[in-house]
Chains A and B, each alone.
Chain A
Amino acid sequence: MADALLPPEFSDLEPFAKEWCLASEPERYSKRLASTMDEMQAFYDAIFPRAEEAIVYLDKFPLHDLPDDAHRLLQLLYSLILVSFAVEIWRQPYIPDTGTASFELKLEPVP
């Protein structure tokens, strides 16, 4: 695929790449809050079973010299982490009983 976002080994995950490869935690968290549980369940069901394989694949590269497609695969795993709380624990996008409180990640390492 000429316009593939992910490494060829993970081409089956392409349908999720455009929406879920996000650069920062605030973007990923906003995406979680803006998604339905059906959308997140589909994302989780697709990514989770491939997570271990993706980690093994990514660890072939130096962390600070990931090719672009590998970096996006890593971002997909970051999104999986945030989505997992909604899917595995809360069964809803937001954390129960949090009201209007905000708690935002202002600084995070790259990649």
Chain B
Amino acid sequence: MQQSPKRAPKQYPKPPEGTWTEHYPELGTAPVSYESSISPEFYELEREAIFKRAWLNVGRVEQLRRKGGFFTKELGVARTSLIVVRGMDDEIRVFHNVCRHRGNKLVWTDHPAEEISGTCRQFACKYHGWTYDLDGRCAFVLQEGEFFGIDKAAYGLVSVHCEVWQGFIFVNLAKQPTQTLTEFLGPMITAIDYPFEKLTERYYYRGDIRSNWKVFLDAFQEFYHPPILHGHQNPVMSNPEYKQQGFYTMHFQIDGPHRVGSTSGGAGGLLPPEMYNPIERVMRSGLFGPWAPSEIVTNELAPGLNPGNKKHWGLDSFQIFPNFAIVFWENGWYLTYHYWPMAHNRLLFEANAYFAPPRNVRERLAQQLGIATIKEYALQDCGTLEATQMGLESRVVSAFPLGDQEIMCRHLNKVVNDWVRDYQRSRAEV
């Protein structure tokens, strides 16, 4: 008979079924295959089944403050590049970054594969000078009379479905998405109503990592590994209690393809001084960010956060399918992660940290230490996950046990397989 995990400490109660995993019986409890993370053929399926059908976040409205503001987004996973632009009518639109004349990439500078941003009134192709208005309409064709009855109205940029939620710009590459963004995000995510627009101080990291996007993402959706992999980084992490008993997540919740894990907080500055590194004591900051709450923190937590309504809540890690995460911290700042697949064993990892604009040097330095700490942690993950990819690719082991603390990894694995199977089924029917 299969044994259920032993009881968790009483301060971390689990659902009536005894475990988080069994609370969601569709997940099962059997060891899991990671073939989906090492197979080039599966990656080809994911591109179509997931990345060309799900809503994908490509940025925030603050990146397009003015009319005519634009940025390009390289989506290698879908073999396309997008132009995201705020039109003269303030409407945000998204187009494939391809000139209708002979297919040249329309918007780029110096290096065709690099993303750019700026402000303009029209897009002009570098090749033969065709121009497009910000709403995508073809505005000018050089020597139009030389063409064979060309109708400019039929040669606008190819548009992409675009919707905005809480200032996050999402695209859907399907010809006709089967769900609106709100339907796709579902009740757990759309319950969030957070003052994102006030947190405009942005730090943007990116990394090129040799691992599958899901292998990498998995490390950012479980709190089982930090006391071990990151155990030396500060005295809190090397707390022998964590090393012996492990770390418990307070709350897990799953809604459709999305999931959240909530943990306790960093008790910024309230622990005995020896629990902090010297730099943390001077800068009053660390892994959980600045010790001083930002101006958005009030007695009322923003709607949708701390969905388990836990008393000593410190952070929520919302994982929005397929490759987007928002992490909310108790002291009033947030992080986003994007995991962009580049190949079955390579990804582009983006991390953005957003704070309230600092009012003085002390606040700025606290933010600086926070983001420097993120890098120290993230690079350890990067190195380790390249090693995990190698281990998986050896195919020496084909099924891996996941604990109850790894329920979010189990869920992603299942959702990805479900979406691919659904896509294959829909293709078979055609």
Contacts and interface: CB of A to CB of B under 8 A. Distances in A.
Contact of A109 (B202, B205, B282, B380): B202
10 contacts: A48-B282, A58-B361, A59-B360, A66-B361, A74-B361, A81-B283, A89-B234, A101-B210, A106-B204, A108-B204
B403 interface: no
B205 A105 contact: yes
B349 A88 contact: no
Given A59-B361, A88-B278, A97-B380, A81 B207 contact: no
A4 interface: no
A95 B203 contact: no
Contacts of A59: 360-362
Interface string A17-37: 000000001000100000000
B361 A105 contact: no
Nearest to B386: A99
Interface string A64-96: 001000000010011011101100111000011
Interface string B355-376: 0001111101100110110011
Contacts of B164: none
Contacts of B207: 101-104
B371 A105 contact: yes
A108 to B, nearest CB: 5
B282 A103 contact: no
Interface in A20-64: 25, 29, 48, 51-52, 55, 58-59, 61, 63
Contacts of A82: 372
A99 to B, nearest CB: 4
10 smallest beta-carbon distances between A and B, as pairs:
A101-B382, A103-B207, A84-B279, A107-B204, A98-B383, A58-B361, A99-B383, A98-B379, A97-B383, A95-B379
B375 A103 contact: yes
A29 B361 CA distance: 21
A106 B384 CA distance: 23
Given A95-B383, A103-B375, A104-B205, 17 more contacts: A48-B278, A48-B279, A63-B360, A77-B365, A81-B365, A82-B372, A84-B279, A85-B372, A88-B278, A89-B233, A95-B376, A98-B379, A100-B386, A103-B351, A105-B204, A108-B371, A111-B364
By size class, the interface of chain B is: 35 or more
B361 A103 contact: no
A103 B382 contact: yes
Contacts of A109: 201-203, 364
A89 B383 contact: no
Interface string B288-317: 000000000000000000000000000000
B206 A106 contact: yes
A87 to B, nearest CB: 9
Contacts of B360: 59, 63
Nearest to A111: B364
By size class, the interface of chain A is: 35 or more
B361 A55 contact: yes
Interface string B195-219: 0000001111111111000000000
Interface of A: 25, 29, 48, 51-52, 55, 58-59, 61, 63, 66, 74, 77-78, 80-82, 84-85, 88-90, 95-109, 111
A51 B371 CA distance: 19
Interface string B313-354: 000000000000000000000000000000000000101000
B277 interface: yes
B141 interface: no
Contacts of B98: none
A64 to B, nearest CB: 9
Nearest to A78: B368
A62 to B, nearest CB: 8
B426 to A, nearest CB: 37
A88 B279 contact: yes
Contacts of B201: 109
B205 A106 contact: yes
Contacts of B364: 63, 74, 109, 111
Nearest to A73: B361
Contacts of B120: none
Nearest to B385: A101
B372 A81 contact: yes
Contacts of A97: 380, 383-384
Nearest to A61: B361
Contacts of A58: 361
A95 B379 CA distance: 7
A98 B384 CA distance: 7
Contact of A95 (B205, B282, B362, B380): B380
